[in-house]
Structure 1
Amino acid sequence: MNETADTATPATDPAAPPPAACRNCGSTLHGPHCYACGQPVKGLVRPLGNLFGDLMDSVFNIDTRVLRTIPPLFAKPGFLTTEYFAGRQVRYVTPVRLFFFLCILAFFVARLAIDSGDGLDVNINDPEAGEIGAAMTEAEVIVRRDAALKRFNDAKAKIPDSPGKGGAEVGFDVQADQARSTAETRIKQLRDAAAKGEPAPAAMDDTFSFGKNGAWDEKKNPVHVPGAPKFVDGWFNQKIGRAKQNIKRIKAEPAQYVETFVSSIPTALFVLVPIFALMLKLVYAFKRRLYMEHLVVSLHSHAFLSLNLLLVFACMALQRLVPANGLATDLLGWCIGLLITWMPIYLLLMQKRVYGQGWPMTLLKYFALGTAYMTLLGFAISGAAIASLVWM
């Protein structure tokens, strides 16, 4: 009987500690996370040295994956995407994190490259030319208008020759249109006063004009969006007022506008990623792939574009550091040209490798997608440029 009792009740060490329990739900812990509620064993309330060690471990873990991800992303079109579809995912940086990291880094370097240039320090508000609305004769209005238009064109010419330059020019085009509109309004005021035999009217304030409704005013002459409720009209006119104030800031600090514009481009690209995935879904409808698969293709495509732009902006920044008209400048110029040329070639090869269609259909779909995407990109960049007038 003693032998039976010993078998039924195994001996336990009375000195052994009880198993650890989750502090949230009380379940027995079997690892670094609770299997019942998911709470991690390690919280933030612990020595700072431990937290720093975990942070460094995470960073170095990401770094090892970056070293395996960046080279094929740049040099092997479609490789990362096919690896992802094949189930080999943990060894590489995830598509979302990869695109987010490279996009933000690329345009951070772009801001540094643009800020380091001396060509954007343009004084648009030339005191010798004066304000158009303060001119007292028609001839003086024309002289000041032409001088203002010349300054805007000079400022546009000094924007760095880089991707997105066309969008950055939109702000200066808006100012040029405003200068022409102000000149027309001032000339009409002077002519009406002369016809009545009255002296020239007082200097006019800066105004916005929309269509034939005359000068914009948030209270007296607001813009009405057809079919929109009252609160939408209020919001829209408030933003117009902010843009009007910011145009005065652009006259004094054009570089600040370009910086704000460059900062807004990543947001535009984030919006285009899911749209481009939808375009791929429509073009390759007979492939019966899930939308999420096309989204992975879109994320890897935009991650490559961000990486390529990062290298372009880095070369532009280096050009400012090396002696002008030297061998290094020429080599960097060649590098920029090759990087820009590699973009469409890479995307074509990637599309061919991922979707596996013949060259005739791949080329047809590539050019159709490219045309539609460049149109959307133009709208996105122009929208970013106009939004910069409001949010700067």
Structure 2
Amino acid sequence: MSVGLLLRDAIEDQFAINSALPRTLGALVFRPGLLTTEYLAGRIARYIPPVRLYLVASVLFFLLLSLSSFLRSESAPASGGGIGSTEDLQVLDVRIRDGAAFFGVQTDTETAPDTVIVWLNLGHDRINERAAARIREMGGASPGQIGRAVATAALGRAPAGMFVLLPVFALLLKLAYARSGRFYVEHFVFALHTHAFAFLLLTLSLPFADTPVQAVALLWIAAYSFLAMRRVYQGRFLGTLVRFLGLVFAYSVLLSVVMMGVFTVAIVFG
């Protein structure tokens, strides 16, 4: 194989991507479900493949989310006194107790203002002990520093957690449309496209953190998913709505479980 042939293939691939990108984004954003129906109909070459589209959208979102979190933490004013100053925090007390929330950090303002308290309950004694040992290694850190360290570690593992959630979501679709005769891979393609749109919209909403814009974005994602289901599965409005609400509930539970798992891994392994 010659260098010229390699260059020609690279140029052709790049041209194909450049020509498919606006067509793909237009269909993804403005015509819910169209990409999935086109792909399942065999019209593949005109659009960016669903796996690549999902990977680009998710990587872009988590990359910019990490950058946004870093910039916000850097621009936040340093807190004074015994909470923000690591020199004043001499003791790190890790408490494992029944009924405690999943994870929390605070200072003991009543009896020992120089003490940072971390309380956790990760559901298993050995996991709790491992997490406590990891956190004690951070002795002298402020509550904000501990929280940011855990959040950063969790953010680094979140893409893998979301990718694991994809086939589970496709399985939920398979169960919801068990009588449709569709293959599992068709539901998986739908999952890839809807998640790609969600990541794209969440990326655009990042500059508007902690504002009503993000709530609107979440509502838009929900409405988009419903419309996409209507187009792809060709169901009646009421039947689609019932399936959609069931999927939202099941997906919310699964997402919570996955995120708890991500944070557990982040706390235990750093």
Distance 1:85 1:342, change over 3 A: same
Shift of 1:206: 8.3
Q: Which moved more, 1:60-69 or 1:86-95?
A: 60-69
Shift of 1:59: 3.4
Q: Which moved more, 1:276-285 or 1:66-75?
A: 66-75
Matched, 1:388 2:269: no
Note if contact 1:351-1:362 (Cα within 8 Å) is conserved in structure 2.
Answer: yes
Q: In structure 1, what is the Cα distance between the partners aligned to 2:40 and 2:205?
A: 30
Aligned counterpart, 2:196: 303
Matched, 1:104 2:59: yes
Equivalent residue of 2:43, what SS?
coil
Matched, 1:379 2:257: yes
Note if contact 1:120-1:255 (Cα within 8 Å) is conserved in structure 2.
Answer: no
Matched, 1:241 2:133: yes
Q: In structure 1, what is the Cα distance between the partners aligned to 2:215 and 2:117?
A: 43
Shift of 1:288: 1.4
Amino acid at match of 2:208: M
Distance 1:297 1:244, change over 3 A: farther
Matched, 1:71 2:35: no
Show CA shifts across 1:149-205 (max 9, x none).
xxxxxxxxxxxxxxxxxxxxx88x4334xx67xx99x9xxxxxxxxxxxxxxxx999
Aligned counterpart, 2:172: 279
Matched, 1:119 2:76: yes
Higher strand share: 2
Amino acid at match of 2:175: L
Distance 1:391 1:69, change over 3 A: farther
Aligned counterpart, 2:97: none
Show CA shifts across 1:215-251 (max 9, x none).
xxxxxxx9458xxxxxxxxxx8556533442576564
Aligned counterpart, 2:245: 367
For normalisation by structure 1, the TM-score amounts to 0.55
Amino acid at match of 1:300: H
Note if contact 1:281-1:291 (Cα within 8 Å) is conserved in structure 2.
Answer: yes
Note if contact 2:61-2:203 (Cα within 8 Å) is conserved in structure 1.
Answer: yes
Equivalent residue of 2:104, what SS?
helix
Matched, 1:175 2:132: no
Root mean square deviation of aligned Cα: 3.8
Equivalent residue of 1:289, what SS?
coil
Higher helix share: 2
For normalisation by structure 2, the TM-score amounts to 0.77
Bigger Rg, structure 1 or 2:
1
What stretches of structure 2 of length at least 5 have no aligned partner?
94-100
Distance 1:266 1:209, change over 3 A: closer
Q: In structure 2, what is the Cα distance between the partners aligned to 1:301 and 1:119?
A: 34
Aligned counterpart, 1:261: 154
Alignment of 1:1-392 (within 5 A): 41-42=1-2, 55=10, 57-117=12-72, 118-119=75-76, 124-126=83-85, 130-131=89-90, 173-176=103-106, 223=125, 238=130, 241-246=133-138, 251=143, 253=145, 254-313=147-206, 315-316=207-208, 336-392=214-270
Shift of 1:263: 2.6
Equivalent residue of 1:285, what SS?
coil
Equivalent residue of 1:174, what SS?
strand
Equivalent residue of 2:105, what SS?
helix
* Number of residue pairs aligned between Structure 1 and Structure 2: 255
Q: In structure 2, what is the Cα distance between the partners aligned to 1:58 and 1:96?
A: 16
Note if contact 2:91-2:140 (Cα within 8 Å) is conserved in structure 1.
Answer: no
What stretches of structure 1 of length at least 5 have no aligned partner?
1-40, 135-169, 187-202, 212-221, 226-235, 320-332
Amino acid at match of 1:107: F
Note if contact 1:250-1:257 (Cα within 8 Å) is conserved in structure 2.
Answer: no
Note if contact 1:268-1:380 (Cα within 8 Å) is conserved in structure 2.
Answer: yes
Percent identity for Structure 1 against Structure 2? 28
Distance 1:206 1:371, change over 3 A: closer
Equivalent residue of 2:68, what SS?
helix
Show CA shifts across 1:15-43 (max 9, x none).
xxxxxxxxxxxxxxxxxxxxxxxxxx35x
Shift of 1:256: 3.9
Note if contact 1:95-1:299 (Cα within 8 Å) is conserved in structure 2.
Answer: yes
